[in-house]
Amino acid sequence: MVHRRFIFHLAGDFWLIRDVADAEQVHSVETFWHFHPELAVTEVAGNFLITNTKSAPGDPAVSLALAPLRDDEWTTEIIAEQVSPAYGRFESAPVVRCQARVKLPAEHAIVITPLFTGDEPGHLTRIPTSDGNSAATILRYDAKRATHFAVFAAKLGDWKAGLWRSDASFLYCCVKEGRVTQFIVCDSSFADVGSSRVFTHPRKLEWLDWEQPAGESHMFTSEENVVLSFAQSVLTSCTLSL
């Protein structure tokens, strides 16, 4: 069995961690998330909240949320394990365990995000492709202020998943109030949404990051002074199914 892990961090927001186990037989697979003994872990509506039990009065009310992928084949629970902070000393510490017995290849994912006062954790789901093809996996993370789409290619070459078509190894899109505000691709020479081309380049770019949070847009690429065909209007006018 081969295990691969993909990590995407949206600066200032969340981490998306995706694990893929590749084989051809039925296996028991697990992921573990270990926490310090002074942290409390509680389950709320399928998500897990982590808080500091030793916070001093006046400390900022900041916690951490784990949002596992909603998948009926997987179970997620809180267990306790022993840690040794010093020789001969043991303490009980909380662990979030995700487990399944499935036919491989299989995947699981989790979103880790900080929560401030008034914030609520989001929900991570998988979007099934209408034709059932496995060319790419689409994950959707619904948070309070935005909906995030992350597309992972299953293999090298062109693929089509949902409204997207590309040769990217990874594609990300953020939608706020029905408007695309950020678009990222990795290892890509083109990307389409629907029947319209977003961008094209003679060779694969290591990465491209376009964003328009409010007003003026900005684009950054892995190549300095790169000249490419980029249709910003395609992103700003497209409607993604929410």
Q: Kindly report, residue by residue over 100-118, the tens digit of the pLDDT.
A: 999 999 999 999 999 877 7
Predicted TM-score of the model (pTM): 0.90
Of residues 190, 183, 166, 67, the one with CA closest to residue 126: 67
- Which of 168, 100, 102 is closest to 136 using CA atoms? 168
- Give me the pLDDT at residue 239, please: 66
CB atoms within 10 A of CB 212: 17
> Quick one: pLDDT at residue 132?
55
User: How sure is the predictor about 62, in pLDDT bands with cuts at 50, 70 and 90?
Assistant: low
* Residue closest to 210 by CA, chosen among 178, 172, 153: 172
Question: What would the mean pLDDT of 117-144 be, rounded to a whole number?
Answer: 83
Cβ atoms within 10 A of the Cβ of 172, count? 20
Q: Which CATH class is domain 1-119?
A: mainly beta
Residues 201 and 216: their CA atoms lie apart, in Å, by 23
Domain boundary assignment for the chain: 1-119, 128-242
pLDDT at residue 177 tops 70? yes
pLDDT (0 to 100) of residue 91: 87
Residue in the block written with tokens 């296996």: 27
Mean pLDDT of 9-27: 93
